[in-house]
Structure 1
Amino acid sequence: MNTFFCALALLLPLAALAQPAPEQTIDTHLLQRHDLPYRFTTLDLDSADGQRHYRLWIGKPERPAPPAGYPVLWMLDGNAAFSALQAPALRRLADGQAPVLVAIGYQSEQRIERSARTFDYTPQVPGLAEQRDPLSGQPSGGADAFLDLLEQRMRPLLAAQLALDARHQTLWGHSYGGLAVLHALFTRPGMFSDYAAASPSLWWRNGVILSEADGLAERLKDHRPRLLLMRGSEEPANPRAPLGSDSENALQQLRTTLAPIQALQVSYRRFEGLGHGPMLPASLAAVLEILANDPPP
């Protein structure tokens, strides 16, 4: 992945890099377009406990599936991810790998469903009596239940509709979603072939995610995943830190920890001039560009 980086200007209009307002609603214009090499449908399902209600925005390429099946790009914060997709990027994807696109969102009109994502994208903290998010106080610690749902229900539902290539599947996430991507890699390194963590919340619970990397080399076994880390140069170290604070210490620590693991390919991209909010569409655009330039499997 680290050899395929191109200009984002071809993929995103400048307006898409603006900081989204918290109350911003999802943009569903792609559902009405018929001039694109992708067709989008939706699929609804609930969490095992019935507390969270998901909507998958599924983009199927018009190109027939290759013999091994379609590669897949799974996108967290699916309402926002779906809203960030642009026609030029979809056309470039169709000329490249043409993966199936799955934006895992929620049955909400909001771009960001904060309560559900807080639970779904954060890991359990060992020894913590009450699993609560340190910023909002909302319930946290549901990352494993969410990944179980993705693996045991979302994937089979998608596979019942489309031929999928289990060897070429990417998971992308931003912020808390980036935290979830790292948790998936560290605990389930064979679940995806590629992990793309944008602006991961490494500060969360005093960096508990960093400890999850312990023993990863042994857990990899025969798997050879790739990890792409992304961060904007204008992001603070944590949500309560001032701008200009050193935001890359934890990221550099993580890269140092992972460097000796030969079975894991790690690459890093720094986005000059971008803060935390604009990193969501920019990082997704970068991943789409990588997939557009990768040869079909």
Structure 2
Amino acid sequence: MKRFVLTLALLFTALLAPAQTALPPPHTIPNTQLRALAKNADGRSYQLHIHLPGSFAKEPKRRYPVLYVTDGYWDFATVVASYNNLNYDKVVPEFIVVGLGYAGDNLDYGELRNWELSPVRTSPLAFGSGNADKFIASLEKDIFPLMERDYRADPAQRYLAGSSLGGLFTLHAMYARPELFKGYIAASPAVVVGGDWIIGRAKAYAATGKSIQARLYVTGAEYEWPGFLAGIKRYQALLAELKHPELVWQARTIDGERHAGTKAESYTRGMRFVFEPLAPEKGPSKD
């Protein structure tokens, strides 16, 4: 009898208990993938955040331009959102977005990015920085071949974007290996690193008389650190003086924003500018 009563009590309790429902699924960005790469020769474990255009599955023989974005763990979603809007407006072509990041959990992105995004030490004691040339080599050896093999990336239409140290890396890549990319977006680049090192690099490149067959968009933020913004303005002014042959460039100060707040507008306007030659439509919307 006691067992029967206990059973009834448990059944009654179960009927009164609130229904247990599964948690809603997490939000994901459509048409995206994560690709973790094997550790490379420098011991770096990279992860690619990849966004594919809408026609990718429908047009299996088509090759696409690619925009590579540094700090993908931070900036990938921002760039993809802007890309979708611009592509809808037909002011940019369909292209693949690749956010460059790191594989693993609970990572210190600040420490990791110092290693490869700066071409020189970020400070005299920052021994784990200044390896931008090794990062460029890894792009050439490991990342470009993967994208061109598995995702039909067009090797003749690569573009590069980055903010802060990523912006500095973008400028350095333009001078170190100008044949690799057709366009560059440098959002609030860290020009002041190494005592304006990138300005000296730009002058040295200009002295060779070699051309840069590309488009460059460089921004700063009105309300970011004054000394930091001053470095960006020095570089922007220098571009007008050096007149790199065949380089088409545009500079802008994003009003009312601080350092990180400049990213959304910088990337949006930067994509419009660097992809302008490939834009399906130009000028005002058509009827």
The two structures have a TM-score, normalised by structure 2, of 0.76
Q: CA deviation at 1:171?
A: 0.2
2:69 maps to which residue? 75
Which residue is 2:176 aligned to? Answer: 187
The separation in 2 between residues aligned to 1:40 and 1:229, in whole angstroms, is: 27
| Residue aligning to 2:240 | 256
* Residue of structure 1 in register with 2:84 after alignment: 90
Query: What is the alpha-carbon distance in structure 2 between the residues aligned to residue 90 and residue 255 of structure 1?
Result: 31
CA distance in 2: counterparts of 1:295 and 1:110, whole angstroms: 39
Q: Does 1:121 align with 2:117?
A: yes
**Post-superposition shift, 1:123?**
0.9
Answer yes or no: is the 8 Å Cα contact 2:64–2:95 preserved in 1.
yes
The reply on whether 1:49 has 2:42 as its aligned counterpart is yes
Q: Is the 8 A contact 1:89 1:289 kept in 2?
A: no
Q: Is 1:287 paired with 2:278?
A: no
Measure how far apart 1:110 and its partner are: 6.6
Letter aligned with residue 255 of structure 2: E
For residue 106 of structure 1, what is the aligned residue in structure 2? 102
Change (3 A) 1:150 1:44: same
Helix, strand or coil: the match of 2:28? Answer: helix
Aligned AA (1:167)? A
* Aligned residues of 2:75 and 2:99 also touching (Cα < 8 A): yes
Once the two structures are TM-superposed, the CA of residue 224 in structure 1 deviates from its matched residue by 1.3
Instruction: State the partner residue of 2:28.
Output: 30
Q: Which has the higher contact order (CA 8 A, sep 6+)?
A: 1
Percent of residue pairs identical: 27
- The code of the aligned residue for 2:70 comes to L
Q: List per-residue Cα deviations over 1:91-122 (Å, max 9, x = no partner).
A: 54265411011000112557971111111111
C-alpha distance after superposition, 1:195-237 (max 9, x if no partner):
111111111011111111113474745x511111111111224
- How much does 1:138 deviate? 5.1
Q: What are the residue-to-residue correspondences of 1:117-266 with 2, within 5 Å?
A: 117-124=113-120, 132-134=121-123, 137=126, 139-213=128-202, 214-216=204-206, 218=208, 220=210, 224-238=213-227, 246=230, 248-258=232-242, 260-266=243-249
Give the number of the structure whose residues are more often helix, by fraction: 2
Q: Distance in 2 between matches of 1:226 and 1:112?
A: 33
TM-score, with structure 1 as normaliser: 0.73
Larger radius of gyration: 2
Q: 1:180 aligns to what SS in structure 2? A: helix
CA distance in 2, matches of 1:157, 1:59: 15
Q: Match for residue 17 of structure 1? A: none
Q: Which ranges in structure 1 are unaligned for 5 or more consecutive residues?
A: 1-27, 34-38, 125-131, 240-244
Q: How many correspondences in the alignment?
A: 249
The answer on whether the counterparts of 1:194 and 1:225 sit within 8 Å (CA) in structure 2 is yes
Q: 1:156 to 1:123 in 2, by over 3 A?
A: same
CA distance, structure 2, for counterparts of residue 67 and residue 207 of structure 1: 45
SS of aligned partner of 2:123: coil
Structure 2 CA distance for partners of 1:187 and 1:105, relative to 1, 3 Å? same
SS in 1 for 2:34: strand
